[in-house]
Amino acid sequence: MVALDGSADGRKLTIRLRDSVLFERGGAELTPSAMDLISRLGGVLRDIGMRVAVSGHTDNTPIKSAAYRSNWYLSTARSTAVIEYMIEHDAFPPQLLSASGNADNMPIVPNDTPENRARNRRVEFVITDEGAIELPNASAPASTAESTEAASVAVETPAAAPADEVAP
């Protein structure tokens, strides 16, 4: 469900959430439990003033939906739903957020089994200190290592536990 991945230089942290944690199958509307998880994660990320790039990913199965013309549309709608929620409900500074959709073009595993396709359907939060800002009433950490520790706290909630990959 949740995976953490840090860069070797300590300047980037990726939090990876399976789509099933956030959305109904084939949809881009956040579930109530997703809203709670995004609010907890967003609160920690907002307070450290780091840049967060949210990207949506799908598997290679073409979507069959009147709402989404392709996996490009679905993956982009999902990342957009996440950042809009963070801005509207968590007072996240919009200048620190970006959304992108990657469809099935950046798989983390081959799309050769149902389990692997499920792993590829995900939303990633890539947190970097590039373009970080100092927020009023919040002290930004001195290093990305400190922010990584803060982000890990957000994921250690009852909804999810940090791990390389936690099966649903």
120, 58 contact by CB (below 8 A): yes
Q: How far apart are the first and last CA of the chain?
A: 6
Phi-psi category of residue 121: left, alpha or beta, with phi > 0 → left and psi -120 to 50 → alpha? beta
> In terms of Cα–Cα distance, which of 28, 24, 135 is closest to 71?
28
Whole-number pLDDT of residue 133: 63
Token pair recorded at residue 107: 């798989």
Whole-number pLDDT of residue 137: 58
Cα angle value 57/60/65 (rounded, 5°): 80
Mean pLDDT for each consecutive 10-residue tract of the chain (168 residues)? 70 93 96 96 89 97 94 98 97 95 98 97 92 57 41 34 37
Backbone φ and ψ of 118, nearest 5°: -65, -40
Whole-number pLDDT of residue 124: 97
Whole-number pLDDT of residue 145: 42
Whole-number pLDDT of residue 1: 63
